[in-house]
Amino acid sequence: MIYVFLADGFEETEAVAPIDLLRRAGKKVVTVGVGDNMIAGSHGLTVITDTIAQEAPLTEALEMIVLPGGMPGTLNLEKSQYVQNAIDFCVENGRYIGAICAAPSILGHKGLLKGKRAVCYEGFETQLEGAVTGTEPVAADGQFITSRGAGTAVEFGLALVEKVVSKAESDRLRAAIMCF
């Protein structure tokens, strides 16, 4: 099971593209609202989530969490104690954490990216405390998968599929959606 956390002000493309690709790959993806189950994106798209944070158990069935960026979505994710607990659970249990755009800053503030290869939205590099930053669309280092922004959301989704399913499935989806 994969949780995609949504908080008011999330960047829609950064959430929807990975959700779509992970579901196409056959993964159970649960959208988790932070604060409520009706979440407004930063560009006016409102999403009714599958559940809310307080009702999303952190169990062995959890394979990955995904943190979309956007503003103030990233700030709203970071101030959620439940999201902080989910990150800690994933770190302690070797689960994957995907973060895109400004959201890798949440991991940086926790000191989780020290010595790790990571990317983020331009200008947020200083928030990735101790990370080895780059400009590639997606960086995967251990259990952390980070990406730069809305324009890299499909590549990010494909990288997530590669981690929790396989490279072959990621490649199959790449061809199916004509992403060359």
The model's pLDDT over 82-103, given as tens digits with 9 standing for 90+, comes to: 999 999 999 999 999 999 999 9
Is 136's pLDDT higher than 90? yes
**Domains assigned to the chain:** 2-176 (3.40.50.880)
Q: Which residues contact 24 (CB under 8 A, 6 or more apart)?
A: 173, 176
**157 C-beta neighbours (distance < 10 Å), count:** 30
Is 180's pLDDT higher than 90? no
What is the predicted pLDDT for the residue at 179?
87
Is 29's pLDDT higher than 90? yes
For the chain, percent of residues with pLDDT exceeding 70: 100
